[in-house]
Homo-oligomer: A and B are copies of this chain.
Amino acid sequence: MPADISSLTGGSLLVAWQLKDKHVLIVGGGDVASGRIESVLAADARITLICPSSGLHPLTKRFIEATDRITYCDRVFAAEDDLVGVDMALTAIDQVEESRRVCALCREHKIPVNVADIPESCDFYFGSQIRDGPLQVLISTNGQSPKLANIIRKRVEQALPNCAGDAISKVGELRTKLKERAPGVGGELGKRRMRWMIDICTSWEMEDLALMDSPMMDRLLDDGWEQNVTPNPDQFKALRGRRSGSASHATSASGVLLPILAFATGVICSGLWMSQRVR
């Protein structure tokens, strides 16, 4: 809790909206709409896309051709009937008045809506986003500076370990295997399971987590979970066929290399200078 509660203002509620098997209406098929389609498909929703074929961006066309999760309607948005069974609506068309009409209808039917480029017609914004497998990051400046959101997104992207998405997937798999081995909800067992997973996540580097494969996970459960210990990743390296470098290793290597080179240059320079003097 901040000392000054009045400082709690000007923000949004950042949330990961669940769309699995939900029905999203997208009005418009241009460049912005194609980005929306990608985000919505990644969230496992079904899409109804309403847009005259003349207005389809090449990417949007490719999405329509590539998946049966999009129901395409070659026409403009008509009326309330288009909102039947819709859980969320996104519009990305140039007609301001038409956008406002869709928004008003959505609000009447309590359907969450985002209208591209008209902030007051949005129940939610998208901000700047990063996606790496199961890892998703949203950066919002609450409308103050989309450009800085973009700059910060790039910095955050650089700071994320290359293997973060893989590490998360593998930890997810390990957790599933652990739950199969020690099933049940809550209670003492649930707590022990959570503690053990936390120990693995904190004591192993993300690079090591990302390199787990199924036999390794099984051995980790045999030698770790069953014995109630947290094995060191080094004990498992022999099991691996491969070992890839990581950004953090590269950084620390250059951090060491530069002083060594500078030291050597110092030795050579003063050697040359001294040898001149001696002559």
Q: Mark A residues whose CB is within 8 Å of B.
A: 1-2, 5, 8-19, 34, 38-45, 59, 62-63, 66-67, 88, 110-112, 114, 122-127, 129, 131, 133-145, 147-148, 151-152, 155-156, 158-161, 164, 167-169, 171-172, 175, 197-198, 201-202, 206, 209, 258-271, 274, 278
Given the contacts A67-B5, A159-B156, A206 and B148 also touching, CB distance less than 8 Å:
yes
Q: Which residues of B contact A66 (CB under 8 A)?
A: 5
Q: Which of A59, A144, A269 has the most CB of B within 10 A?
A: A144
User: What would 25 A/B residue contacts be, using CB atoms closer than 8 Å?
Assistant: A1-B63, A5-B63, A5-B67, A10-B42, A10-B133, A11-B134, A13-B43, A13-B88, A110-B110, A110-B111, A136-B142, A137-B137, A137-B138, A144-B172, A145-B175, A148-B209, A151-B206, A155-B161, A258-B262, A262-B266, A263-B263, A263-B266, A264-B266, A274-B274, A278-B278
Copies of this chain, tallied across the complex: 2
Q: Which residues of B contact A160 (CB under 8 A)?
A: 152, 155-156
Q: Is the CB of B138 within 8 A of A134?
A: no
How far apart are A116's CB and chain B's nearest CB, in angstroms?
13
**A135 and chain B: residue at smallest CB distance:** B141
Given the contacts A17-B14, A67-B5, A110-B110, A147 and B263 also touching, CB distance less than 8 Å:
no
Report the Cα distance A34→B8, complex, angstroms. 14
**A159 and chain B: residue at smallest CB distance:** B159
Q: Is the CB of A139 within 8 A of B140?
A: no
Q: Is the CB of A270 within 8 A of B266?
A: yes
Report the Cα distance A140→B131, complex, angstroms. 10
Report the Cα distance A82→B64, complex, angstroms. 43
Cβ contact of A38, chosen from B8, B63, B136, B271, cutoff 8 A = B8
Q: Which of A13, A148, A175, A261 has the most CB of B within 10 A?
A: A13
How far apart are A96's CB and chain B's nearest CB, in angstroms?
10
How far apart are A117's CB and chain B's nearest CB, in angstroms?
9
